Amino acid sequence: MVEPKTENRKPKIIFLGPPGSGKGTQGNRIAKEFNLDFISIGDILREEIKKESELGKKVRSYVESGALVPDELILELIRNRVDNVDNSEYEGFILDGFPRTVEQANGLKEITEIDKVIYLKCDTETIVKRLSARRICPKCARVYNLVTNLPQEDELCNDCGVKLEHRVDDCESVIRDRIKVYETHTLPLLDFYQSQLRVINADSDIEEVYCTAKNNCK
């Protein structure tokens, strides 16, 4: 049940968390439950490229040359989406995958005011354990986890029966590097959002994290 609101402003929430914290999954699920627009930057960029919009063409040129998509471009896409939320049925939004730097956070501030920042805090060893247990079906790309989301038969895809693969990205040394990069960029954001910040322990089991994160989004 969504509690009645005392004001009309739609809640604007950011989800932060290292790779393997489950932030995308949790954010998506909570957004559905509270009728919030789940704004994933990765998805937005892919959609724009697919639509072949003017912005999409620009995005494609960066992605294809292997360059980072500039902040101004991403901010423009977010602005469009956020403006839509205000005129939609959605009760607010959850932003996932942005901002990643304080500079981006300053840009976002120009567009909209953020009410809550949910940080899914995760121990490095937990992340390494979770991500190194990931397996992917080479045929249908379904993702499994040998700890939390087992296939029915030993390392075979439930749908295809194909032997699951371990991606290079999910190897321990690569995971540790990704966590380090994440921390360097993101930890200063926690200071930036000090007054809106809610830190959630994301080491525990998925359902427990879900309940805690959900209560903090209310």
**Residues designated as active site:** 23, 100, 134, 167, 178
Our CB check for Zn ion shows the closer of 143 and 147 to be 143
Q: Of these, 52, 83, 123, 159, which contacts Zn ion (CB under 5 A)?
A: 159
Name residue 136's beta-bridge partners: 143, 165
- Is residue 160 part of the contact set for Zn ion (CB under 5 A)? yes
Gyration radius from the chain CA atoms: 18
The interface with Zn ion within residues 111-150 (CB under 5 A) comprises: 137, 139-140, 142
- Is residue 157 part of the contact set for Zn ion (CB under 5 A)? yes
What is the nearest approach in angstroms of Zn ion to the Cβ of residue 139? 5
What is the nearest approach in angstroms of Zn ion to the Cβ of residue 75? 37
What is the nearest approach in angstroms of Zn ion to the Cβ of residue 158? 7
Of the ranges 3-11, 21-29, 73-81, 153-161, which one interacts with Zn ion (CB under 5 A)?
153-161
Residues 6+ apart with CB under 8 A from 55: 48, 73, 76, 77
Token look-up 């590097």 returns 177
User: Contact at 8 Å (CB) between 142 and 149?
Assistant: no
CA–CA gap between residue 83 and residue 197 (Å, rounded): 24
The footprint of Zn ion on this chain (CB under 5 A) covers a number of residues equal to: 7
CA–CA gap between residue 61 and residue 203 (Å, rounded): 38
- Is residue 103 part of the contact set for Zn ion (CB under 5 A)? no
Tell me the CA end-to-end span of the chain in Å, nearest whole number.
Answer: 10
What is the nearest approach in angstroms of Zn ion to the Cβ of residue 146? 15
Amino acid at 164: L
Token look-up 């998925």 returns 206
- Is residue 187 part of the contact set for Zn ion (CB under 5 A)? no
Residues that bind Zn ion (CB under 5 A): 137, 139-140, 142, 157, 159-160
